[in-house]
Chains A and B, each alone.
Chain A
Amino acid sequence: MEITLTVNGRAQALELDPRTTLLDALRDHLQLTGTKKGCDHGQCGACTILLNGRRINACLTLAAMHEADEIATIEGLAPPDDPGALQAAFLHHDGFQCGYCTPGQIVSATGMLEEARAGWPSHVSPNLEAEVALDRSEVAERMSGNLCRCAAYTGIVEAILETAEQERDVEPREAAE
């Protein structure tokens, strides 16, 4: 079937088998190979992308279902010559070893920080209605959909926390909804 996907701001027409997952469409048909396949069943998070700004597993959805959506991948998050704050923090905190889970971690963290900014609580939040205060356990819980077999979790969590703190210092939070 023919479908048009809008990825990183660019619309492209594709001829796809309806069975094609969004992940395979990105990797095999759009040559956006930064999004990785680790398990193909939503259990590892290596394929995390942003769908209309929200993080999802690209392996658990069909490309055919996303004609009208805005899709962002690791390649679209930051220009090649100017790594974003998260990327810099991952480097500084040694947030990976083999790098295979890294794009998924970074995209997931991007979406997660947005969720925290919107005030979404998590399983470990003591109070459902209080303002979100990210700490180590909050970040770990919110990132539990991303597996790192090298187990660089300490660095990953620290990198994300540092980014969250920087953002808070730079742009004062908007008033809670």
Chain B
Amino acid sequence: MNTPNTYIGGHVERVEDARFLRGAGRYIDDVTREGMLHACVVRSAVAHGRLVSIDAEEALAMPGVHAVLTAADVTGEIPTIPFRRPNPKIGPYAQPVIARERVRYFGEPVALVLADSPELAEDAAELVLPEIEPLPAVVTRDAALAAEPLLFPGTTEDNLAAVFTAGKGDAEAAFAGAALVVGDSFSTQRQTALPLETRGLLAEWDADAQHLTVHGAAKLPFFNRRAMAKMMDLPETSVDYVEHDVGGGFGARGEFYPEDFLVALAARITGRPVKWVEDRREHFAAIAHSREAEAQVELALDASGRILGLRGEMFMNVGAYVRPNGMTPVRNCAQFMSGPYRVPNIALQATAYVANKTPAGTFRGPGRYEGSFFIERLLDMAAARLGLDRRTIRQVNLLTNAEMPYPLAQIRPSDGSRAETSCDSGEYSEAFHRCLQAFDWEEKEKLDGRLIDGRYHGIAVSCFIEGGASGPAETARIQVAGDGGVEVYVGSSAIGQGLETVMAQIAADTLGLPMECIRIYHGSTTYLAEGWGSYGSRATVMGGNAVREAALALLARFRALAARRLGVGEAEVSVVGGQAVGPDGAVLDLADLAAEGLAGEAKFLNSDATYTNGTAAVHVAVDPETGRVEVLDYVVCDEVGRIVNALTLHGQVTGAAVQGFGSVFGEELPYDDDGALLVGTLADYLVPLATDYPRVRCLSLESYPSPTNPLGAKGAGEGGIIPVGGAVANAVASALRAFGVAPNHLPLSPARVWALLNPPD
């Protein structure tokens, strides 16, 4: 870049933080409107059944209750929620915004109560009595595949929402010529992202202007606006999604959910602002789940440990409907299971089946976490069989920069821009070596498999790639205000990741201005005509480059305006530090030209993914008496192309790693045989606390800028979670090697580990 670079790459403290520290953050439940009604969703307590009737009489008779909306209040067809990545098969599985004749999961919305206060709405909701004739619930894969019963009888012939294949080379031939084939069954458990702030929405309908405003946007406001406009039969310009502070997303929050439509409909029908805030128990049943996957996979290798091929089948329980990005983990798991390794031949099939559980969506590192667990287990199993060091088997297969761009498996059916994709840049062994060095593998290896003070110690290493920079585009507009301040509008959303800071750094550096001059506006459709958002680790790359290009456009405009004002040629004006200097030394500030419309706009286009690569190493101790595994040390090193903000980057990586520990050790959403969700509180769903895990040690490299974008950055918000399952499971296997256990099924809860050590007779 040809501008002074003072903020990018620095340890810049976040600009968002002042308001958070004073309790002045403004989250959706902090937003109120005069005359607002409060909504409470009545949900099905039956996992599968025929919705016969809904008796709302008693609820409606309560003073302060204004309406009880059901499917009958929706004119015409019940709208279904559109897909983020459509494919030919999933159409019939789209989720209707409210159940009409059939309910398909515990927690599915059947009615919406509107009252003067949240408490009243809740009391009234208890009096709304849906009559539901239960049907047998499909909970397991076997029942789903046997179509006993069909979830969508008369519409579909099976319970298979989609079957993806990931292919490359000739896997059959590779397996035929292999020195070793290792294979096994693996599974990861259903869980959820669990942002600390539950979801919430506040909808306002302006009848005169025929305009709908939905507060509570996150992640992808522009997509949701498009979806809402279509369902409401309004032009897109008549709908706005407005973002406030967002208490965590992690992939689940901000997708279009049934409540988006129901709350908006309620506002339109009643003519009053309507607010709905999810409670925690409801959140567990309503927000997207993820990660319920099984795999039967095999790896073919030559005698030196080089991977020749990868094949097998995967099955994902995607719940009762296909949600907007319900297919993302399914296709990702197949496409990215090969990870950072050179795998010339691949034949994987991933089947998404429906069942009477909460519909699935994404959780940080969707599909990638699952796939990484599968292949990392296979690699350790192969190393043991070949008598190879677990480092060697990775080292010989890690991609080199000379091979870039390195094509990954092709996904079919194609569901968007990433059906074919390639790793962009990087010498993957670099992060590997740096990680092992920081971890002190040689020293720790002395403890591996040993019983010390009643606990078995184990270590393991795991490598990963993280796809980022989801295309196709992001937009930004920058304008100079009358006071000389620079207003930056970007299509990216903030979900707690420090977006404002990162965007301000990039704008300030590009414009050559101090960060204090920059004001960032993001996440609302009111700021820009089009935009995309924050998902798939894209904000820094896509939003960041859009901001950079908009800043460059603004500088060009500044130069042109300054030349005109000074009456000189553009080439004679130099622009430095927010000032234009003429050939005679005359100086113009940005503010001097603000009135003339000093602005720049950009739409950064990019459909090529970035691939951060990295390695994690872990040291665990297993208590054989309780089955509890303690993580004693965890080091992760990633190569991110370009570090914009080391502070927020490390926050993302370590936070993701700790979330990964939660995933591996305990977080689980069990269902009973009737399809009832057995978790409703944070006492049942144990997320990591400050006391649970050691300080994650985190190193970041920027040796190989991504060729896909001028900043050279690679998305890095999810990578921390991807290798955790494989690393921990392999460390547990190594610790318990004397017992020959195969920890192939997550979570490695104390109960599961104990059962591994004490198999039933």
Indicate yes or no for A touching B, C-beta below 8 A. yes
B651 touches A97 (CB 8 A): yes
Give bound CA distance, A136 to B196, whole Å.
Answer: 24
B681 to chain A, nearest CB (A): 6
A168 contacts the other chain (Cβ, under 8 Å)? no
A74 touches B14 (CB 8 A): no
B119 touches A17 (CB 8 A): yes
B247 contacts the other chain (Cβ, under 8 Å)? yes
A33 contacts the other chain (Cβ, under 8 Å)? yes
Within 8 A of A (CB), among B262-292: 279-280
Q: A19-B119, A99-B20, A155-B651 are in contact. Are A38 and B496 (CB under 8 A)?
A: no
Q: Which of B22, B194, B250 contacts A80 (CB 8 A)?
A: B22
Q: A39-B682, A99-B245 are in contact. Are A73 and B22 (CB under 8 A)?
A: no
| Chain A residues in 8 Å Cβ range of B118 | 28
B495 contacts the other chain (Cβ, under 8 Å)? yes
- Most B Cβ at <10 Å: residue of A98, A144, A149: A98
Q: A100-B25, A102-B20, A106-B21 are in contact. Are A151 and B688 (CB under 8 A)?
A: yes
| Chain A residues in 8 Å Cβ range of B658 | 151, 153
B21 touches A98 (CB 8 A): no
B695 contacts the other chain (Cβ, under 8 Å)? yes
B13 touches A94 (CB 8 A): yes
Residue of A nearest to B682 (CB): A43
A154 touches B695 (CB 8 A): yes
Residue of A nearest to B29 (CB): A37
| Chain A residues in 8 Å Cβ range of B18 | 83, 91
Main secondary structure of the interface of B (DSSP, over half): loop
B654 contacts the other chain (Cβ, under 8 Å)? yes
B544 contacts the other chain (Cβ, under 8 Å)? no
A144 touches B196 (CB 8 A): no
Q: Mark A21-64, 1 if CB is under 8 A from B, else 0.
A: 00000011000111111111101101000000000000000000
B695 touches A151 (CB 8 A): no
Q: A87-B22, A97-B496, A99-B247 are in contact. Are A38 and B197 (CB under 8 A)?
A: yes
B30 contacts the other chain (Cβ, under 8 Å)? yes
A142 to chain B, nearest CB (A): 9
Residue of B nearest to A141 (CB): B691
B634 to chain A, nearest CB (A): 11
B23 touches A75 (CB 8 A): yes
Q: Mark A107-126, 1 if CB is under 8 A from B, else 0.
A: 00000000000000000000
B158 contacts the other chain (Cβ, under 8 Å)? no
Q: Mark B641-666, 1 if CB is under 8 A from A, else 0.
A: 00000011011101111110000000
Q: A41-B280, A100-B248, A101-B196 are in contact. Are A140 and B691 (CB under 8 A)?
A: yes
B127 contacts the other chain (Cβ, under 8 Å)? no
| Chain B residues in 8 Å Cβ range of A35 | 23
Q: A43-B682, A90-B17, A147-B687 are in contact. Are A97 and B119 (CB under 8 A)?
A: no
B50 to chain A, nearest CB (A): 33
| Chain B residues in 8 Å Cβ range of A151 | 654-659, 688
B231 contacts the other chain (Cβ, under 8 Å)? no
A146 contacts the other chain (Cβ, under 8 Å)? yes
Give bound CA distance, A49 to B690, whole Å.
Answer: 19
Residue of A nearest to B30 (CB): A33
| Chain A residues in 8 Å Cβ range of B250 | 149
Q: A34-B23, A90-B17 are in contact. Are A147 and B689 (CB under 8 A)?
A: yes
Q: Mark B194-211, 1 if CB is under 8 A from A, else 0.
A: 111110000000000000
Closest 5 CB pairs of A and B: A34-B23, A98-B496, A100-B247, A99-B20, A74-B23
- What 18 new A-B contacts, CB under 8 Å, besides A32-B23, A102-B21? A34-B22, A38-B196, A38-B198, A39-B682, A43-B681, A91-B14, A91-B17, A92-B13, A97-B497, A97-B498, A98-B248, A99-B19, A100-B27, A100-B195, A140-B689, A141-B690, A147-B687, A152-B655
